[in-house]
Chain A
């Protein structure tokens, strides 16, 4: 069975400091992994995706994530937080079975302190 765990329900950082949002997954198959961001009262926007190419994936707005199979992790990072990064972040796993099915993590709320 597939599952996604986001270890922190809430993360708070100061503007200009690094961001680390943690994600671990469980999958019986070689997964595709995604990070989505949701700003308040908005829909979800794709930040980046891993689909078995390079293990270090760069996304929009300076975010990147590294796929580590040995740790079953796909943590999201950014070197320097900006106020506009305050949002909800979802880690997502897609494991191919008979049909594509997407599993969303519970989300991590990121606050950025001026």
Chain B
């Protein structure tokens, strides 16, 4: 299995630009999570999908952030407009709680730098 795939691995953009991060979960997994990691705040859960439906988006910082999961094999996290404080590593993870396999499998992350 290829594991969770994220793209791009690194993104550098200017303030005000739109940024789209992409994630392909492990095939067969029906839960998908987006996290943000910074030195100041640690690892934060942004949003959680189950069967392509957003279940908990209470961690999404503000309206500039949006996430979609149009099908079971693809999700996006969009920031528009981006700001320097959005600079962080964004992780995607997937799991399959339906069969009691609750552990999450993490992708390699996307390092975002907003200048």
Which residues from chain A sit less than 8 Å from chain B, CB to CB? 32, 34, 36, 42-46, 49, 51, 90, 94, 99-102, 104, 106-107
Q: Contact check, A94 vs B102: say whether CB atoms are below 8 A apart.
A: yes
Q: Contact check, A104 vs B43: say whether CB atoms are below 8 A apart.
A: yes
Q: Contact check, B42 vs A102: say whether CB atoms are below 8 A apart.
A: no
Which residues from chain B sit less than 8 Å from chain A, CB to CB? 31, 33, 42-43, 45, 48, 50, 55-56, 91, 93, 95, 97, 100, 102-109
Number of A-B contacts (CB under 8 A): 46
Q: Contact check, A102 vs B33: say whether CB atoms are below 8 A apart.
A: yes
Contact of B50 among A34, A43, A51, A99 (CB under 8 A): A99
- B43 / chain A contacts, CB cutoff of 8 Å: 90, 104, 107
Interface-centre pick from B33, B56, B93, B102 (highest chain A CB count, 10 A)? B102
Q: Contact check, B109 vs A107: say whether CB atoms are below 8 A apart.
A: no
Q: Which 9 A-B pairs have the closest CB atoms?
A: A43-B106, A44-B106, A100-B97, A43-B108, A104-B43, A99-B55, A46-B103, A106-B42, A32-B102
